[in-house]
Structure 1
Amino acid sequence: MKKNVLAKAIGLTSAAMALGIASGQAAAVEFEAGDVMLDVYGYAQLNAVYDIDQDIGLDTQAGHFPYLFDNDDGRDGHFDADAQQSRLGVTATHASGVSVTVEGDFRGGDFRLLRAYGEYGNWMAGRNWSNYTSFVGWTPTLDFDGLAGLAGIQDRAAQVRYSNGPWSFSVEDPNFQRIADTDDEKQSAPVVTARYEDALTSNVMFSAGALLQYLSYDEGDAGDDDNAVGMAGYVAADISLTDALTLHGVLNASDGANGYLYRSGDSGFGGNDAYLDGSSLETISGYGGTIGASADVGAGTLNAGYGLVEMDWDDYESDVGAAAADARVETNSNAFVNYQWNPIEHVMLGVEYGYFKSELYSGDSEDAQRVMFASRYSF
């Protein structure tokens, strides 16, 4: 970032989309076999955490909002570590221009498929980062799951995508849909997304996305059914103030698409899109955002960021009842300050302070602090 902060921001965006990493870049190992070029890439990463308050660490030691309430047993001070964020991927590029990427990591303890897709020309098909995702506006964190309110779903989805310059459009698997208080939701149509992402000036990187989805519930032959339309949108930007200082920001809004409002709701990753008022399907709105900064300090980069998401349960309270609404998570927020540096090529070390808070509609809240260390060896 000494040369040009915007160039690094764009580079980090590309690296994150290619590797799905929280920060830093990896250099692939190349092999040539006939008319196919193979790029093998990955990293081994250790994450170690000390939870000052209750244990809120999920796999990869990322902070998990639901654990603020679930693990509040009065026992403070917890240490844990794992290497589950470690990753392995391969890209095969044919002389014809067709390329195939398969990538996975070890979150959860076993190898899991993250991305598997093919590309040719303007078209991509397979499992990849949702088109309703951007790493523009993203403040680097050591925490694998990052700030609440980041741009888009921050996850992968099966999809078909068409890209042309800064524009990209997709139809995707709607597996992030949730309807409160029923097991009778069904996926009856793909999600449709659009995204624009480009450098507006030499100092500003910009991204905007929009999404439409079709929500359905159906109790079967003897029951009721109804449908609703959900929508969401975000804007995000990285602004280079100097060669050593970049500001990051994201704004999100949704109505009936809170599964795509990152880290909202009871699950800690995406909230309910709608609820049932009798036999009528009513959408739930939400909003969120992040703000952060990255600055060159000494041999590395100092990053600081804050994120918040909030869901509107007022109509749910009126239609369903105060007791049900009071138990719902209304707000999730977190903040991180970290320092990351590369002592040698292909090695990243980092330390981070994190703060998490979750508040129910009733006003009850829990918060926790934690300290994290990470080391990554990339190839």
Structure 2
Amino acid sequence: MWNNKKAPLINMTAIALAIGSTSASALETEVGETTVGLYGYARLNMAYNFDRDAGSANEGYFGEVERSEGKVGDQFQISATQSRIGFRTSTPVDGSMLDTVIEGDFWSYNDDNPRFRLRHAYGSWNGILAGQTWSNYTTFVASTPTLDFFGTAGGNGYGSRVAQLRYTMGHLSMAVEDPKAQLAENIDGSVPGGASLPDNDDAVSSIPALSLRYEDSIGDFSYSLAGIARQLKYDTGSEKDTKMGYGAFAGGSYGIGPVTLRGIVHASEGANSYLYLSGDFFNGADAYVDTDGKLQTLSGNGAAAGVSLQLSPKYSLNASYGYTDVDLGDTSVQGNAGRKNQNAFVNVMWTPSERLMYGIEYGYFETELADGREEDASRVMVAAQYSF
């Protein structure tokens, strides 16, 4: 289950190093009929911010760019908390392989609370997957390798891992997932009479998110199509309202000799929690509650494009750009609504072997807020990764 299908003419080593896909275990043994493997890597990231704070040493945040209104000046950051370790097994059971994976790292938002964090914990047998892993509404087909841990805005679907029950049949996969929702807040937070408007703390869910994805390759062209539907609901005990939110994306990659082109487009109505990096520190708001107590969904869209050039068997050059745009909806709304994010990366990666990677990258981040204020930041990142 853990061996991903190869995309033609894509530097899969670079992608694995950049976005965290796993390669074959270096430490592997047989216990009866079960193959047991241990894998992971030790990684060091160093970042230098030219003018403003752009996030942590591991990745950039649009929220940090937004909050750095004054010039912070030059700033150096360093971290090893992206390092990770994983354990997996594979056992033949009734004609199919039973695969299990448990994986974690030491990453935290803004690198301010290093601790062991569960990434993957799932089992898969006969097409049925249960546990926590990448959302079915996620693809790496259109992901251009970056040193930045988060990467390009709009570069995939949800872009993280959720608890789920998934069934895969050929190239088609469908899942019921832990639903993600985010309500934007009202500026004054009240309605006539002094009552408080519901906020994100009042968001609840009665049903799981439902996702569908089809992923395949035709020659040198690989593509992914996906959709998701999820419930939006709030309940304060005295009042409540419910609506549905929907999202969809289409992404692809095409290899031409040493060049690989990638692109993806998104559309969302009330499902911006699944629009990658459309918010301040992760994804954007789905809806808000108006002064009549009614949920109003927020529209969003995004896209990303990238190119990779394999300079030699050991050197690759990657460039990518992405943007997201979440509607304001109402002038009284604040938070992760009415926000436009965009970022761009250019990097060179050196992989002297499949277990070693060194790289240097320039990253640019820009965010435009509902009040029209625009903030930007740029940085250089250097990384070294040793895999086992």
Q: What TM-score comes out, normalization by structure 1 length?
A: 0.90
**Aligned equivalents of 2:373 and 2:152: distance in 1?**
22
Secondary structure of the 2:10 match is helix
1:75 and 1:184 map into 2 onto residues whose CA distance is 36
Kept after mapping to 2: 8 A contact 1:27/1:378: no
Which residue is 2:317 aligned to?
A: 302
What is the CA–CA distance in structure 2 between the aligned matches of 1:144 and 1:369, rounded to whole Å?
A: 15
Q: Alignment partner for residue 287 of structure 1, among 284, 287, 301?
A: 301
Distance (Å, rounded) in 2 between the aligned partners of 1:255 and 1:186: 18
Post-superposition CA distance 1:323-357 (Å, at most 9, x none): x4599552010000000011244110100000000
Aligned residue identity for 1:348: M
AA aligned to 1:230 is: G
Say if 2:254 is the partner of 1:256. Answer: no
Determine what percentage of the aligned residue pairs are the same residue: 39
> Following the alignment from structure 1 to structure 2, what is the Cα–Cα distance between the partners of residues 131 and 325?
30
Query: Is 1:207 equivalent to 2:224 in the alignment?
Result: yes
Q: Which amino acid aligns with 1:103?
A: E
Q: What SS class does the counterpart of residue 214 from structure 2 fall into?
A: strand
Deviations 1:154-208 (A, max 9, x none): 100000000011100000001x211122121112110000000000x21100001
Work out the number of aligned pairs and report it: 358
SS of 1:9's partner is coil
Residues 33-48 of structure 1 aligned to structure 2 (within 5 Å) = 33-48=31-46
Shift of 1:116: 0.1
Question: Counterpart in 1 of 2:341?
Answer: 332
Alignment partner, residue 98 of structure 1:
98
1:54 paired to 2:68: no
Q: Which amino acid letter does the alignment assign opposite residue 180 of structure 1?
A: A
Match of 1:69 in 2: 66
Whether contact under 8 Å (1:6, 1:202) holds in the other structure is: no
CA distance in 2, matches of 1:280, 1:345: 54
Q: CA distance change for structure 1 residues 217 and 248 in 2, over 3 Å: closer, same or farther?
A: same
The answer to whether the aligner puts 1:130 opposite 2:132 as a matched pair is: no
Change (3 A) 1:104 1:8: farther
Partners of 2:143 and 2:267 in 1: how far apart?
17
CA contact (8 A) 2:142 2:252 kept: yes
What is the alpha-carbon distance in structure 1 between the residues aligned to residue 306 and residue 334 of structure 2? Answer: 32
The root-mean-square deviation of aligned C-alpha atoms, in Å, is 2.0
**Deviation string, structure 1 residues 96-143 (Cα, Å, up to 9, x no partner):** 222210001110211100010001011000001000000011111000
Q: How does 1:50-199 map to 2 (within 5 A)?
A: 50-58=48-56, 60-96=57-93, 97-108=97-108, 109-174=114-179, 176-181=180-185, 182=199, 183-199=201-217
1:27 Cα deviation from its structure 2 partner: 3.5
Q: Which runs of 5+ in 2 are unaligned?
A: 1-5, 109-113, 186-198
Aligned residue in 2 for 1:316: 330
Give the distance between the partners of 1:345 and 1:208, measured in 2 at CA. Answer: 30
Q: 1:270 matched to which residue of 2?
A: 283
Counterpart of 1:231 in structure 2 is 246
Q: How far 1:74 sits from its partner (Å)?
A: 2.1
Judged with a 3 Å threshold, the aligned counterparts in structure 2 of structure 1 residues 42 and 364 are, in CA distance, closer, same or farther, namely same
* Deviation, structure 1 residue 95: 2.9
Equivalent pair of 1:311/1:331 in contact (CA under 8 Å): yes
Query: Separation in 2 of the partners of 1:340 and 1:231?
Result: 37
Task: Give me the whole-angstrom Cα distance separating, in 1, the residues matched to 2:334 and 2:118.
Answer: 36
The aligned amino acid for 1:268 is F
Give, in angstroms, the shift of residue 10 of structure 1.
8.4
Q: Residues 344, 302 of structure 1: CA spacing in aligned structure 2 closer, same or farther, 3 A cutoff?
A: same
How does the TM-score come out when normalised to structure 2? Answer: 0.88
Shift of 1:151: 1.8
